[in-house]
Structure 1
Amino acid sequence: MSDVGFGTGKVVVNRAMSLDGFIAGPDHAMDWIGEYLTPADVPEVMAATGAMLIGRGTYEVARRMEPQDNTYDGGARFVLTHEPPADPAPAFTFLTCGLEEAVATARGAADGKNLEILGADVAAQCLRHGLVDEILVYVLPLLLGDGVRFSPPGLGRIDLEPFSSTRSGAVTTLRFRVRK
């Protein structure tokens, strides 16, 4: 999987998705992703990413998954939340500011590399505010039937320009520019 664009400094929504449009299963389960996609499969994405911005829900899912092999290195990790946890994981920086300030802070930490946006809610907020440059989707060969959709209801229309589609093993990678 290639064509990621090293050092471009873009804001990229990055997610794995089932063919029926879910980025997490029931109860926010994401263990199914590791059956098809591992950090070793996306070294170019890791090299191009300087920071990640996630929401509190995604942070909590990541905490539950900690015992699993989670060697994905996307640089500095920021969590946008109204209320930081009482016992925060040391690898994360918690931001309680507005969305635009959080994106600017994380982009600054990315140091010229891409800022990766993970999680449904923060990604939808970034898309609504016109802060996203690209969407990178790994379509995995399964149907979940229920869970967290790629985009929440009410997101509204976002026009995209496809610019890359590749297949590696069972994973199809789709890349889009967000039309502004």
Structure 2
Amino acid sequence: MSDVSTGIGKVVVNRAMSLDGFIAGPGHAMDWIAEHLTADTFPEVMAATGAMLIGRGTYEVAKRMSAQGTAYDGGAQFVLTHEPPGEPDPGVTFLSCDLEEAVATARSAAGGGNLEILGADVAAQCLRRGLVDEILVYVVPVLLGDGVRFSPPGLGRIDLEPFGTTRSGAVTMLRFRVRKQARPSSG
């Protein structure tokens, strides 16, 4: 949940995961998530979210899912990309800045709510740079066997502190705080 007393939300990596550790199936398929998880499954998470920062690949997958009737509304949407699309998307702000500026921009737009980070690559970059406060994982009762792993190779060790487990139907939500570690000095 966001810290209402300070008006500053948290930066939260939020993702569904199969029991065997995949956040998307082969070909970036995510239809298996909608079979078990909707915005109503954990409404407190949706209520705490003010904005989303998404990678370009995740944006494209979400567009396909939305066209199939599976929509997810987590507030203002920001897509971090090197190549914004030729045609604007009225519901999305495309950012071509550095990661820290993108997080600050999206966090400001969250209006005191949490900034949700979606997408394996953007989440890994945020974790590497110490920009994430919490990780929420929705464990979905399915084995995919292949696909996009929860974290990409080379992420490195990130220490977490578990602080909550909630079950809704067949889905279990695990909550972790990211233990802040000293960032390596550059020089």
Match of 1:129 in 2: 129
Deviation at 1:42, TM superposition (A): 2.2
Match of 2:104 in 1: 104
Deviation at 1:178, TM superposition (A): 0.1
* Cα shift readout 1:74-127 (whole Å, capped 9, x = no counterpart): 110000000101123221100000000000000000011100000100000000
Match of 1:117 in 2: 117
Q: Is the 8 A contact 1:13 1:135 kept in 2?
A: yes
Deviation at 1:40, TM superposition (A): 1.6
Q: TM-score w.r.t. structure 1 length?
A: 0.95
SS at match of 1:66: helix
Deviation at 1:68, TM superposition (A): 2.7
> 5+ unaligned residues in a row in structure 2: which ranges?
181-187
Match of 1:167 in 2: 167
Moved more, 14-23 or 57-66: 57-66
C-alpha distance in 2 between matches for 1:65 and 1:157: 32
Match of 2:82 in 1: 82
Deviation at 1:6, TM superposition (A): 6.7
* CA 1:158–1:74: 2 relative to 1, 3 Å: same
Q: TM-score w.r.t. structure 2 length?
A: 0.91
Moved more, 4-13 or 71-80: 4-13
Q: Is the 8 A contact 1:6 1:48 kept in 2?
A: no
* CA 1:72–1:63: 2 relative to 1, 3 Å: closer
Deviation at 1:173, TM superposition (A): 0.5
C-alpha distance in 2 between matches for 1:73 and 1:83: 24
**2:74 partner letter:** G
Q: Is the 8 A contact 2:2 2:113 kept in 1?
A: no
Q: Is the 8 A contact 2:52 2:117 kept in 1?
A: yes
Alignment of 1:17-166 (within 5 A): 17-166=17-166
Identical-pair percentage: 80
Deviation at 1:130, TM superposition (A): 0.1
C-alpha distance in 2 between matches for 1:67 and 1:95: 23
> 5+ unaligned residues in a row in structure 1: which ranges?
none
**Larger Cα-atom Rg:** 2
Q: CA RMSD in A?
A: 1.2
What count of residue pairs does the alignment treat as equivalent? 177
